[in-house]
Structure 1
Protein backbone atom coordinates (compact mmCIF):
# COMPACT_ATOMS: atom_id res chain seq x y z
CA UNK A 1 0.00 0.00 0.00
CA UNK A 2 2.92 2.34 0.75
CA UNK A 3 4.40 1.56 -2.66
CA UNK A 4 1.08 2.28 -4.39
CA UNK A 5 0.70 5.61 -2.60
CA UNK A 6 4.28 6.59 -3.47
CA UNK A 7 3.77 5.64 -7.12
CA UNK A 8 0.62 7.78 -7.41
CA UNK A 9 2.29 10.81 -5.83
CA UNK A 10 5.55 10.56 -7.79
CA UNK A 11 3.74 9.89 -11.07
CA UNK A 12 1.71 13.06 -10.58
CA UNK A 13 4.80 15.08 -9.64
CA UNK A 14 6.97 13.83 -12.49
CA UNK A 15 4.16 14.09 -15.02
CA UNK A 16 3.61 17.68 -13.96
CA UNK A 17 7.33 18.42 -14.26
CA UNK A 18 7.45 16.89 -17.76
CA UNK A 19 4.38 18.89 -18.84
CA UNK A 20 5.84 22.17 -17.51
CA UNK A 21 9.26 21.72 -19.09
CA UNK A 22 8.56 19.70 -22.22
CA UNK A 23 11.50 17.46 -21.26
CA UNK A 24 11.54 13.97 -22.73
CA UNK A 25 13.91 12.99 -19.94
CA UNK A 26 11.39 13.97 -17.28
CA UNK A 27 8.65 12.30 -19.34
CA UNK A 28 10.65 9.06 -19.29
CA UNK A 29 10.94 9.39 -15.52
CA UNK A 30 7.16 9.84 -15.26
CA UNK A 31 6.61 6.76 -17.45
CA UNK A 32 8.64 4.66 -15.03
CA UNK A 33 6.47 5.90 -12.16
CA UNK A 34 3.43 4.64 -14.06
CA UNK A 35 5.15 1.26 -14.27
CA UNK A 36 5.80 1.47 -10.52
CA UNK A 37 2.07 1.96 -9.92
CA UNK A 38 1.02 -1.03 -12.04
CA UNK A 39 3.76 -3.18 -10.50
CA UNK A 40 2.75 -2.19 -6.97
CA UNK A 41 -0.89 -3.14 -7.60
CA UNK A 42 0.19 -6.52 -9.02
CA UNK A 43 2.53 -6.99 -6.05
CA UNK A 44 -0.29 -6.33 -3.59
CA UNK A 45 -2.46 -8.96 -5.26
CA UNK A 46 0.42 -11.46 -5.36
CA UNK A 47 1.25 -10.94 -1.69
CA UNK A 48 -2.37 -11.50 -0.68
CA UNK A 49 -2.18 -14.87 -2.47
CA UNK A 50 1.31 -15.72 -1.17
CA UNK A 51 0.42 -15.31 2.51
CA UNK A 52 -2.47 -17.78 2.29
CA UNK A 53 -1.76 -20.87 4.40
CA UNK A 54 -1.22 -24.28 2.84
CA UNK A 55 -4.38 -26.13 1.86
CA UNK A 56 -5.40 -29.47 0.34
CA UNK A 57 -4.55 -28.41 -3.21
CA UNK A 58 -1.41 -26.46 -2.24
CA UNK A 59 0.24 -28.43 0.58
CA UNK A 60 3.48 -26.44 0.22
CA UNK A 61 1.71 -23.09 0.47
CA UNK A 62 1.20 -20.28 -2.05
CA UNK A 63 4.49 -18.41 -1.64
CA UNK A 64 5.55 -18.83 -5.28
CA UNK A 65 2.84 -16.36 -6.25
CA UNK A 66 5.40 -13.68 -5.38
CA UNK A 67 7.57 -14.64 -8.33
CA UNK A 68 4.73 -14.02 -10.78
CA UNK A 69 4.53 -10.48 -9.43
CA UNK A 70 8.25 -9.94 -9.94
CA UNK A 71 8.03 -11.29 -13.50
CA UNK A 72 5.13 -8.93 -14.28
CA UNK A 73 7.14 -6.05 -12.86
CA UNK A 74 10.11 -6.99 -15.03
CA UNK A 75 7.92 -7.11 -18.15
CA UNK A 76 6.40 -3.73 -17.28
CA UNK A 77 9.90 -2.29 -16.94
CA UNK A 78 10.68 -3.52 -20.45
CA UNK A 79 7.54 -1.78 -21.75
CA UNK A 80 8.50 1.48 -20.05
CA UNK A 81 12.06 1.25 -21.35
CA UNK A 82 10.78 0.71 -24.90
CA UNK A 83 8.60 3.80 -24.64
CA UNK A 84 11.46 5.87 -23.22
CA UNK A 85 13.94 4.76 -25.90
CA UNK A 86 11.48 5.37 -28.73
CA UNK A 87 10.61 8.85 -27.43
CA UNK A 88 14.23 9.83 -26.85
CA UNK A 89 15.32 8.75 -30.35
CA UNK A 90 12.48 10.77 -31.88
CA UNK A 91 13.51 13.83 -29.84
CA UNK A 92 17.15 13.45 -30.95
CA UNK A 93 16.03 14.11 -34.51
CA UNK A 94 13.46 16.73 -33.50
CA UNK A 95 14.95 18.68 -30.57
CA UNK A 96 12.77 21.05 -28.59
CA UNK A 97 13.63 23.95 -26.32
CA UNK A 98 12.77 23.27 -22.67
CA UNK A 99 10.82 25.66 -20.44
CA UNK A 100 10.52 26.39 -16.70
CA UNK A 101 13.45 24.11 -15.93
CA UNK A 102 13.94 25.36 -12.37
CA UNK A 103 10.42 24.49 -11.27
CA UNK A 104 10.45 21.19 -13.14
CA UNK A 105 13.73 20.13 -11.57
CA UNK A 106 12.50 21.05 -8.09
CA UNK A 107 9.39 18.93 -8.47
CA UNK A 108 11.43 15.96 -9.73
CA UNK A 109 13.82 16.20 -6.78
CA UNK A 110 10.87 15.87 -4.37
CA UNK A 111 9.60 12.82 -6.28
CA UNK A 112 13.06 11.20 -6.21
CA UNK A 113 13.32 11.68 -2.43
CA UNK A 114 9.92 10.02 -1.92
CA UNK A 115 10.91 7.05 -4.10
CA UNK A 116 14.25 6.66 -2.34
CA UNK A 117 12.69 6.62 1.13
CA UNK A 118 9.98 4.12 0.16
CA UNK A 119 12.51 1.95 -1.70
CA UNK A 120 14.71 1.60 1.39
CA UNK A 121 11.69 0.72 3.55
CA UNK A 122 10.56 -1.99 1.08
CA UNK A 123 14.03 -3.55 0.78
CA UNK A 124 14.49 -3.64 4.55
CA UNK A 125 11.07 -5.23 5.04
CA UNK A 126 11.65 -7.61 2.11
CA UNK A 127 14.88 -8.90 3.60
CA UNK A 128 13.29 -9.31 7.02
CA UNK A 129 10.30 -11.22 5.61
CA UNK A 130 12.23 -13.04 2.86
CA UNK A 131 9.81 -11.56 0.31
CA UNK A 132 10.85 -11.61 -3.36
CA UNK A 133 8.02 -9.20 -4.18
CA UNK A 134 8.99 -6.52 -1.68
CA UNK A 135 12.67 -6.82 -2.59
CA UNK A 136 11.87 -6.51 -6.31
CA UNK A 137 9.63 -3.50 -5.71
CA UNK A 138 12.20 -1.82 -3.48
CA UNK A 139 15.06 -2.38 -5.92
CA UNK A 140 12.89 -1.05 -8.73
CA UNK A 141 12.20 2.15 -6.78
CA UNK A 142 15.90 2.65 -6.02
CA UNK A 143 16.66 2.13 -9.71
CA UNK A 144 14.02 4.75 -10.41
CA UNK A 145 15.93 7.12 -8.11
CA UNK A 146 19.15 6.51 -10.05
CA UNK A 147 17.27 7.18 -13.29
CA UNK A 148 15.80 10.37 -11.81
CA UNK A 149 19.24 11.63 -10.76
CA UNK A 150 20.60 10.96 -14.24
CA UNK A 151 17.64 12.74 -15.82
CA UNK A 152 18.03 15.70 -13.46
CA UNK A 153 21.71 16.00 -14.35
CA UNK A 154 20.85 15.84 -18.03
CA UNK A 155 18.15 18.49 -17.79
CA UNK A 156 20.50 20.62 -15.71
CA UNK A 157 23.11 20.38 -18.46
CA UNK A 158 20.48 21.50 -20.97
CA UNK A 159 19.80 24.56 -18.79
CA UNK A 160 23.52 25.38 -18.71
CA UNK A 161 24.49 24.60 -22.31
CA UNK A 162 21.17 25.36 -24.04
CA UNK A 163 21.63 22.16 -26.07
CA UNK A 164 18.22 20.38 -26.08
CA UNK A 165 19.59 17.17 -27.58
CA UNK A 166 21.34 16.42 -24.28
CA UNK A 167 17.89 15.84 -22.79
CA UNK A 168 17.20 13.11 -25.36
CA UNK A 169 20.64 11.52 -24.84
CA UNK A 170 20.09 11.27 -21.08
CA UNK A 171 16.61 9.79 -21.62
CA UNK A 172 18.08 7.19 -23.99
CA UNK A 173 20.71 6.18 -21.43
CA UNK A 174 18.01 6.00 -18.74
CA UNK A 175 15.94 3.70 -20.96
CA UNK A 176 18.90 1.34 -21.45
CA UNK A 177 19.53 1.27 -17.71
CA UNK A 178 15.88 0.43 -17.07
CA UNK A 179 16.13 -2.45 -19.58
CA UNK A 180 18.98 -3.94 -17.54
CA UNK A 181 16.93 -3.68 -14.35
CA UNK A 182 14.00 -5.47 -16.00
CA UNK A 183 16.27 -8.27 -17.22
CA UNK A 184 17.66 -8.87 -13.73
CA UNK A 185 14.19 -8.93 -12.15
CA UNK A 186 12.91 -11.48 -14.66
CA UNK A 187 16.06 -13.59 -14.31
CA UNK A 188 15.80 -13.73 -10.50
CA UNK A 189 12.07 -14.51 -10.65
CA UNK A 190 12.52 -17.34 -13.15
CA UNK A 191 15.24 -18.81 -10.92
CA UNK A 192 12.75 -18.81 -8.06
CA UNK A 193 10.06 -20.53 -10.13
CA UNK A 194 12.66 -23.16 -11.10
CA UNK A 195 13.25 -24.10 -7.41
CA UNK A 196 16.72 -22.56 -7.23
CA UNK A 197 18.93 -23.83 -4.38
CA UNK A 198 19.46 -21.79 -1.24
CA UNK A 199 22.50 -19.47 -1.24
CA UNK A 200 25.89 -21.16 -1.08
CA UNK A 201 26.61 -19.76 2.36
CA UNK A 202 23.34 -21.19 3.74
CA UNK A 203 24.09 -24.60 2.22
CA UNK A 204 27.53 -24.57 3.86
CA UNK A 205 25.91 -23.85 7.21
CA UNK A 206 23.52 -26.76 6.75
CA UNK A 207 26.35 -29.11 5.73
CA UNK A 208 28.32 -28.09 8.83
CA UNK A 209 25.38 -29.13 11.01
CA UNK A 210 25.31 -32.55 9.35
CA UNK A 211 29.07 -32.88 9.88
CA UNK A 212 28.54 -32.54 13.63
CA UNK A 213 26.47 -35.75 13.62
CA UNK A 214 28.57 -37.77 11.17
CA UNK A 215 30.26 -40.92 12.53
CA UNK A 216 32.09 -42.92 9.82
CA UNK A 217 30.45 -46.31 9.38
CA UNK A 218 27.68 -45.45 11.84
CA UNK A 219 25.95 -42.21 10.85
CA UNK A 220 26.17 -40.69 7.36
CA UNK A 221 24.11 -38.38 5.15
CA UNK A 222 23.52 -38.10 1.41
CA UNK A 223 20.98 -36.86 -1.18
CA UNK A 224 21.27 -33.40 0.41
CA UNK A 225 19.41 -30.69 -1.50
CA UNK A 226 17.74 -27.35 -0.80
CA UNK A 227 15.32 -25.05 -2.56
CA UNK A 228 13.52 -21.74 -2.07
CA UNK A 229 9.88 -20.99 -2.84
CA UNK A 230 9.06 -17.34 -2.21
CA UNK A 231 9.82 -16.66 1.44
CA UNK A 232 9.89 -20.37 2.33
CA UNK A 233 13.00 -22.58 2.45
CA UNK A 234 13.14 -26.36 2.10
CA UNK A 235 15.80 -29.03 2.66
CA UNK A 236 15.82 -32.76 1.89
CA UNK A 237 18.38 -35.24 3.22
CA UNK A 238 18.75 -39.00 3.67
CA UNK A 239 20.02 -40.20 7.06
CA UNK A 240 21.98 -43.48 7.06
CA UNK A 241 22.27 -45.46 10.30
CA UNK A 242 23.00 -49.13 11.18
CA UNK A 243 20.15 -51.44 10.22
CA UNK A 244 20.27 -52.95 13.69
CA UNK A 245 19.08 -49.71 15.23
CA UNK A 246 15.50 -49.58 16.44
CA UNK A 247 13.04 -47.32 14.67
CA UNK A 248 12.87 -45.22 17.85
CA UNK A 249 16.64 -44.67 17.98
CA UNK A 250 16.83 -43.72 14.32
CA UNK A 251 13.85 -41.41 14.66
CA UNK A 252 15.31 -39.67 17.72
CA UNK A 253 18.59 -39.07 15.89
CA UNK A 254 16.73 -37.64 12.88
CA UNK A 255 14.72 -35.31 15.10
CA UNK A 256 17.94 -34.14 16.80
CA UNK A 257 19.47 -33.38 13.39
CA UNK A 258 16.39 -31.44 12.28
CA UNK A 259 16.31 -29.45 15.53
CA UNK A 260 19.98 -28.53 15.08
CA UNK A 261 19.34 -27.43 11.50
CA UNK A 262 16.39 -25.26 12.49
CA UNK A 263 18.55 -23.57 15.15
CA UNK A 264 20.93 -22.44 12.38
CA UNK A 265 18.28 -21.64 9.73
CA UNK A 266 15.08 -20.99 11.75
CA UNK A 267 12.45 -20.88 8.98
CA UNK A 268 13.57 -23.93 7.00
CA UNK A 269 11.34 -26.97 6.52
CA UNK A 270 13.34 -30.24 6.59
CA UNK A 271 12.32 -33.58 5.09
CA UNK A 272 14.56 -36.45 6.23
CA UNK A 273 14.51 -40.06 5.00
CA UNK A 274 15.99 -42.78 7.25
CA UNK A 275 17.96 -45.64 5.59
CA UNK A 276 20.14 -48.59 6.73
CA UNK A 277 23.78 -47.74 6.10
CA UNK A 278 24.80 -51.27 5.06
CA UNK A 279 22.01 -51.84 2.52
CA UNK A 280 23.16 -51.27 -1.12
CA UNK A 281 19.66 -50.09 -2.01
CA UNK A 282 20.18 -47.09 0.29
CA UNK A 283 22.71 -45.72 -2.21
CA UNK A 284 20.66 -46.23 -5.37
CA UNK A 285 19.41 -42.64 -5.29
CA UNK A 286 22.55 -41.06 -3.83
CA UNK A 287 23.38 -39.19 -7.03
CA UNK A 288 19.85 -38.53 -8.30
CA UNK A 289 19.89 -34.92 -7.18
Structure 2
Protein backbone atom coordinates (compact mmCIF):
# COMPACT_ATOMS: atom_id res chain seq x y z
CA UNK A 1 0.00 0.00 0.00
CA UNK A 2 2.83 2.39 0.87
CA UNK A 3 4.56 1.72 -2.44
CA UNK A 4 1.32 2.44 -4.27
CA UNK A 5 0.89 5.74 -2.39
CA UNK A 6 4.46 6.62 -3.32
CA UNK A 7 3.65 6.14 -7.01
CA UNK A 8 0.56 8.32 -6.66
CA UNK A 9 2.61 11.08 -5.04
CA UNK A 10 5.20 10.80 -7.81
CA UNK A 11 2.49 11.17 -10.44
CA UNK A 12 1.25 14.26 -8.59
CA UNK A 13 4.61 15.92 -9.15
CA UNK A 14 4.49 15.09 -12.86
CA UNK A 15 0.89 16.29 -13.24
CA UNK A 16 1.84 19.47 -11.39
CA UNK A 17 4.63 20.15 -13.86
CA UNK A 18 2.27 19.74 -16.82
CA UNK A 19 -0.37 22.00 -15.26
CA UNK A 20 2.22 24.65 -14.43
CA UNK A 21 3.43 24.60 -18.04
CA UNK A 22 -0.11 25.15 -19.32
CA UNK A 23 -0.77 28.02 -16.92
CA UNK A 24 2.55 29.70 -17.58
CA UNK A 25 1.90 29.57 -21.31
CA UNK A 26 -1.58 31.03 -20.69
CA UNK A 27 -0.04 33.93 -18.76
CA UNK A 28 2.54 34.60 -21.47
CA UNK A 29 -0.26 34.73 -24.05
CA UNK A 30 -2.59 37.02 -22.08
CA UNK A 31 -0.59 39.02 -19.56
CA UNK A 32 -3.45 38.51 -17.05
CA UNK A 33 -2.44 39.15 -13.44
CA UNK A 34 -4.98 36.56 -12.32
CA UNK A 35 -3.47 33.89 -14.53
CA UNK A 36 0.02 34.93 -13.41
CA UNK A 37 -0.95 34.46 -9.76
CA UNK A 38 -2.59 31.14 -10.57
CA UNK A 39 0.58 29.97 -12.29
CA UNK A 40 2.60 30.89 -9.20
CA UNK A 41 0.20 28.82 -7.11
CA UNK A 42 0.94 25.85 -9.35
CA UNK A 43 4.61 26.16 -8.45
CA UNK A 44 3.48 25.73 -4.85
CA UNK A 45 1.57 22.60 -5.93
CA UNK A 46 4.74 21.09 -7.34
CA UNK A 47 6.73 21.81 -4.19
CA UNK A 48 3.88 20.50 -2.02
CA UNK A 49 3.61 17.29 -4.05
CA UNK A 50 7.35 16.79 -3.68
CA UNK A 51 7.01 17.30 0.07
CA UNK A 52 4.25 14.68 0.18
CA UNK A 53 6.51 12.32 -1.74
CA UNK A 54 9.32 12.73 0.81
CA UNK A 55 6.87 12.34 3.71
CA UNK A 56 5.55 9.07 2.29
CA UNK A 57 9.10 7.71 2.02
CA UNK A 58 9.90 8.68 5.61
CA UNK A 59 6.59 7.44 7.05
CA UNK A 60 7.07 4.05 5.38
CA UNK A 61 10.12 3.31 7.52
CA UNK A 62 9.47 0.56 10.07
CA UNK A 63 9.56 1.18 13.81
CA UNK A 64 13.01 1.21 15.35
CA UNK A 65 14.62 1.74 18.74
CA UNK A 66 14.39 5.53 18.48
CA UNK A 67 10.87 5.51 17.01
CA UNK A 68 9.05 2.51 18.55
CA UNK A 69 5.68 3.72 17.21
CA UNK A 70 7.00 4.10 13.66
CA UNK A 71 7.39 7.19 11.47
CA UNK A 72 3.81 7.62 10.25
CA UNK A 73 3.45 11.13 11.67
CA UNK A 74 5.91 12.38 9.06
CA UNK A 75 2.92 12.74 6.72
CA UNK A 76 1.42 15.40 8.99
CA UNK A 77 4.48 17.58 8.54
CA UNK A 78 3.91 17.39 4.78
CA UNK A 79 0.29 18.45 5.26
CA UNK A 80 1.37 21.39 7.45
CA UNK A 81 3.88 22.47 4.79
CA UNK A 82 1.19 22.31 2.11
CA UNK A 83 -1.17 24.44 4.19
CA UNK A 84 1.56 27.01 4.78
CA UNK A 85 2.40 27.08 1.07
CA UNK A 86 -1.25 27.68 0.22
CA UNK A 87 -1.26 30.66 2.57
CA UNK A 88 1.88 32.01 0.88
CA UNK A 89 0.31 31.62 -2.58
CA UNK A 90 -2.82 33.48 -1.48
CA UNK A 91 -0.79 36.41 -0.15
CA UNK A 92 1.21 36.54 -3.39
CA UNK A 93 -2.00 36.54 -5.45
CA UNK A 94 -3.36 39.49 -3.46
CA UNK A 95 -0.08 41.37 -3.85
CA UNK A 96 -0.01 40.87 -7.61
CA UNK A 97 -3.69 41.81 -7.99
CA UNK A 98 -3.27 44.97 -5.91
CA UNK A 99 -0.66 46.39 -8.26
CA UNK A 100 -3.00 45.88 -11.22
CA UNK A 101 -5.99 47.68 -9.68
CA UNK A 102 -4.44 51.08 -10.36
CA UNK A 103 -3.31 50.14 -13.89
CA UNK A 104 -5.73 47.64 -15.55
CA UNK A 105 -4.48 46.35 -18.90
CA UNK A 106 -6.22 44.46 -21.75
CA UNK A 107 -5.16 40.91 -22.60
CA UNK A 108 -2.95 40.16 -25.60
CA UNK A 109 -4.15 36.75 -26.91
CA UNK A 110 -7.13 35.90 -24.67
CA UNK A 111 -8.77 33.10 -26.66
CA UNK A 112 -5.81 30.73 -26.76
CA UNK A 113 -4.65 31.68 -23.29
CA UNK A 114 -8.04 30.97 -21.71
CA UNK A 115 -8.33 27.69 -23.62
CA UNK A 116 -5.02 26.53 -22.12
CA UNK A 117 -6.17 27.61 -18.67
CA UNK A 118 -9.41 25.64 -19.04
CA UNK A 119 -7.41 22.56 -20.06
CA UNK A 120 -5.22 22.94 -16.96
CA UNK A 121 -8.28 23.18 -14.71
CA UNK A 122 -9.86 20.05 -16.20
CA UNK A 123 -6.63 18.07 -15.81
CA UNK A 124 -6.24 19.18 -12.19
CA UNK A 125 -9.85 18.38 -11.28
CA UNK A 126 -9.65 14.85 -12.66
CA UNK A 127 -6.37 14.11 -10.93
CA UNK A 128 -7.43 15.68 -7.61
CA UNK A 129 -10.55 13.50 -7.39
CA UNK A 130 -8.55 10.36 -8.10
CA UNK A 131 -5.93 11.38 -5.54
CA UNK A 132 -8.54 12.17 -2.89
CA UNK A 133 -10.17 8.76 -3.31
CA UNK A 134 -6.80 7.01 -2.98
CA UNK A 135 -5.81 9.05 0.06
CA UNK A 136 -9.07 8.31 1.88
CA UNK A 137 -8.94 4.64 0.94
CA UNK A 138 -5.42 4.28 2.39
CA UNK A 139 -5.87 6.81 5.23
CA UNK A 140 -2.95 8.90 3.98
CA UNK A 141 -2.96 12.53 5.26
CA UNK A 142 -0.25 13.45 2.75
CA UNK A 143 -2.28 12.32 -0.28
CA UNK A 144 -5.53 13.78 1.08
CA UNK A 145 -3.84 17.13 1.77
CA UNK A 146 -2.30 17.11 -1.70
CA UNK A 147 -5.71 16.36 -3.23
CA UNK A 148 -7.42 19.19 -1.35
CA UNK A 149 -4.59 21.47 -2.35
CA UNK A 150 -5.21 20.60 -5.98
CA UNK A 151 -8.97 21.08 -5.58
CA UNK A 152 -8.35 24.52 -4.09
CA UNK A 153 -6.23 25.26 -7.14
CA UNK A 154 -9.06 24.09 -9.40
CA UNK A 155 -11.40 26.54 -7.65
CA UNK A 156 -8.82 29.28 -8.02
CA UNK A 157 -8.24 28.52 -11.68
CA UNK A 158 -11.98 28.39 -12.39
CA UNK A 159 -12.46 31.75 -10.71
CA UNK A 160 -9.60 33.26 -12.65
CA UNK A 161 -10.97 31.75 -15.86
CA UNK A 162 -14.43 33.25 -15.27
CA UNK A 163 -13.03 36.63 -14.29
CA UNK A 164 -10.62 36.80 -17.19
CA UNK A 165 -13.32 35.64 -19.60
CA UNK A 166 -15.77 38.31 -18.47
CA UNK A 167 -13.06 40.96 -18.53
CA UNK A 168 -12.27 40.02 -22.11
CA UNK A 169 -15.88 39.82 -23.30
CA UNK A 170 -17.09 42.99 -21.56
CA UNK A 171 -13.89 44.99 -21.59
CA UNK A 172 -14.04 45.32 -17.81
CA UNK A 173 -10.34 44.78 -17.19
CA UNK A 174 -10.68 45.60 -13.48
CA UNK A 175 -12.47 42.24 -13.07
CA UNK A 176 -9.17 40.43 -13.51
CA UNK A 177 -7.58 41.58 -10.21
CA UNK A 178 -10.93 41.53 -8.37
CA UNK A 179 -11.49 37.85 -9.07
CA UNK A 180 -7.87 37.10 -8.20
CA UNK A 181 -8.39 38.61 -4.74
CA UNK A 182 -11.64 36.69 -4.17
CA UNK A 183 -9.97 33.42 -5.13
CA UNK A 184 -7.02 34.22 -2.86
CA UNK A 185 -9.38 34.64 0.09
CA UNK A 186 -10.87 31.23 -0.63
CA UNK A 187 -7.40 29.70 -0.76
CA UNK A 188 -6.60 31.27 2.61
CA UNK A 189 -9.58 29.44 4.09
CA UNK A 190 -8.56 26.11 2.56
CA UNK A 191 -4.99 26.56 3.82
CA UNK A 192 -6.23 27.29 7.33
CA UNK A 193 -8.33 24.11 7.40
CA UNK A 194 -5.41 22.01 6.16
CA UNK A 195 -3.07 23.36 8.83
CA UNK A 196 -5.75 22.92 11.49
CA UNK A 197 -6.31 19.28 10.58
CA UNK A 198 -2.60 18.48 10.50
CA UNK A 199 -1.94 20.14 13.84
CA UNK A 200 -4.79 18.09 15.27
CA UNK A 201 -3.05 14.92 14.12
CA UNK A 202 0.25 16.02 15.64
CA UNK A 203 -1.59 16.77 18.90
CA UNK A 204 -3.06 13.24 19.00
CA UNK A 205 -6.69 14.24 18.59
CA UNK A 206 -9.22 11.42 18.93
CA UNK A 207 -10.51 9.66 15.83
CA UNK A 208 -13.71 11.06 14.26
CA UNK A 209 -16.89 10.42 16.23
CA UNK A 210 -18.17 7.97 13.62
CA UNK A 211 -15.06 5.80 13.87
CA UNK A 212 -15.12 5.90 17.67
CA UNK A 213 -18.75 4.76 17.64
CA UNK A 214 -17.82 1.93 15.28
CA UNK A 215 -14.97 0.89 17.60
CA UNK A 216 -17.36 0.74 20.56
CA UNK A 217 -19.79 -1.40 18.55
CA UNK A 218 -17.04 -3.84 17.56
CA UNK A 219 -15.77 -4.13 21.14
CA UNK A 220 -19.27 -4.65 22.54
CA UNK A 221 -19.99 -7.36 19.96
CA UNK A 222 -16.83 -9.30 20.81
CA UNK A 223 -16.66 -9.11 24.62
CA UNK A 224 -17.54 -12.78 25.12
CA UNK A 225 -17.30 -13.53 28.85
CA UNK A 226 -15.62 -10.18 29.55
CA UNK A 227 -17.80 -7.89 31.66
CA UNK A 228 -17.21 -4.45 30.20
CA UNK A 229 -14.63 -2.04 28.84
CA UNK A 230 -13.72 1.52 29.78
CA UNK A 231 -11.08 4.26 29.37
CA UNK A 232 -11.31 4.03 25.59
CA UNK A 233 -8.73 6.27 23.93
CA UNK A 234 -8.04 6.70 20.22
CA UNK A 235 -5.66 8.64 18.04
CA UNK A 236 -4.27 8.56 14.52
CA UNK A 237 -0.74 8.77 13.19
CA UNK A 238 -0.85 9.09 9.43
CA UNK A 239 -2.80 6.15 7.99
CA UNK A 240 -2.58 4.16 11.23
CA UNK A 241 -5.19 4.31 13.99
CA UNK A 242 -4.30 3.53 17.62
CA UNK A 243 -6.92 2.17 20.01
CA UNK A 244 -6.43 1.66 23.74
CA UNK A 245 -8.90 0.57 26.42
CA UNK A 246 -9.29 -1.37 29.66
CA UNK A 247 -11.08 -4.72 29.52
CA UNK A 248 -12.79 -5.91 32.70
CA UNK A 249 -13.00 -9.69 33.22
CA UNK A 250 -14.14 -11.85 36.16
CA UNK A 251 -11.40 -12.25 38.72
CA UNK A 252 -11.61 -16.02 38.43
CA UNK A 253 -11.14 -16.08 34.64
CA UNK A 254 -8.03 -18.02 33.55
CA UNK A 255 -5.27 -16.01 31.90
CA UNK A 256 -5.44 -18.02 28.69
CA UNK A 257 -9.17 -17.31 28.31
CA UNK A 258 -8.66 -13.58 28.91
CA UNK A 259 -5.86 -13.65 26.35
CA UNK A 260 -8.11 -15.34 23.80
CA UNK A 261 -10.71 -12.59 24.28
CA UNK A 262 -8.12 -9.85 23.70
CA UNK A 263 -6.90 -11.56 20.54
CA UNK A 264 -10.46 -11.81 19.24
CA UNK A 265 -11.00 -8.11 19.96
CA UNK A 266 -7.74 -7.16 18.23
CA UNK A 267 -8.67 -9.14 15.12
CA UNK A 268 -12.15 -7.61 14.99
CA UNK A 269 -10.81 -4.08 15.38
CA UNK A 270 -8.15 -4.71 12.75
CA UNK A 271 -10.88 -5.76 10.31
CA UNK A 272 -12.98 -2.69 11.15
CA UNK A 273 -9.97 -0.35 10.96
CA UNK A 274 -7.36 -1.88 8.63
CA UNK A 275 -3.83 -1.21 9.81
CA UNK A 276 -4.92 -0.20 13.31
CA UNK A 277 -2.93 -1.00 16.45
CA UNK A 278 -4.87 -2.04 19.56
CA UNK A 279 -3.56 -2.08 23.12
CA UNK A 280 -5.81 -3.74 25.73
CA UNK A 281 -5.25 -3.58 29.48
CA UNK A 282 -6.97 -6.51 31.19
CA UNK A 283 -8.10 -5.99 34.78
CA UNK A 284 -10.23 -8.01 37.21
CA UNK A 285 -13.70 -6.85 38.20
CA UNK A 286 -12.53 -6.00 41.72
CA UNK A 287 -10.02 -3.49 40.33
CA UNK A 288 -12.58 -1.85 38.00
CA UNK A 289 -14.96 -1.25 40.90
CA UNK A 290 -12.33 0.96 42.55
CA UNK A 291 -12.56 3.50 39.70
CA UNK A 292 -16.24 3.68 38.58
CA UNK A 293 -15.90 7.25 37.33
CA UNK A 294 -13.24 6.25 34.83
CA UNK A 295 -15.62 4.18 32.69
CA UNK A 296 -15.96 5.55 29.15
CA UNK A 297 -16.92 2.41 27.27
Q: State the TM-score, normalized to the length of structure 1.
A: 0.94
Are residue 30 (structure 1) and residue 27 (structure 2) matched? no
Deviation (angstroms), 1:211: 2.3
Which 4+ runs in 1 deviate beyond 6 A? none
- CA offset digits 1:133-191 (Å, max 9, x no partner): 00111111112111111111111111111111010101111111111111111011101
Q: Unaligned 5+ residue runs, structure 2?
A: 1-9
Deviation (angstroms), 1:287: 6.3
Alignment of 1:25-64 (within 5 A): 25-64=34-73
Change (3 A) 1:105 1:209: same
For 1:130 and 1:234, the matched residues in 2 are separated by 13
Are residue 225 (structure 1) and residue 233 (structure 2) matched? yes
Does the CA-based 8 Å contact 2:235-2:241 persist in structure 1?
yes
Root mean square deviation of aligned Cα? 2.0
Residue of 79, 84, 88 corresponding to 2:88: 79
Secondary structure at the residue paired with 2:234? strand
In the other structure, the counterpart of 1:241 is 249
Change (3 A) 1:287 1:208: closer
Alignment of 1:137-176 (within 5 A): 137-176=146-185
Aligned length: 288
Secondary structure at the residue paired with 1:56? coil
Secondary structure at the residue paired with 2:233? strand
Comparing 114-123 with 172-181, which one deviates more in the overlay?
114-123
Secondary structure at the residue paired with 2:245? strand
- CA offset digits 1:3-39 (Å, max 9, x no partner): 1111111112111211221101111110110110111
Are residue 9 (structure 1) and residue 14 (structure 2) matched? no
For 1:123 and 1:215, the matched residues in 2 are separated by 39
Does the CA-based 8 Å contact 1:213-1:219 persist in structure 2?
no
- CA offset digits 1:188-244 (Å, max 9, x no partner): 11011111211211111111122235589x611111111110000110011111222
Comparing 254-263 with 169-178, which one deviates more in the overlay?
254-263
For 2:129 and 2:268, the matched residues in 1 are separated by 33
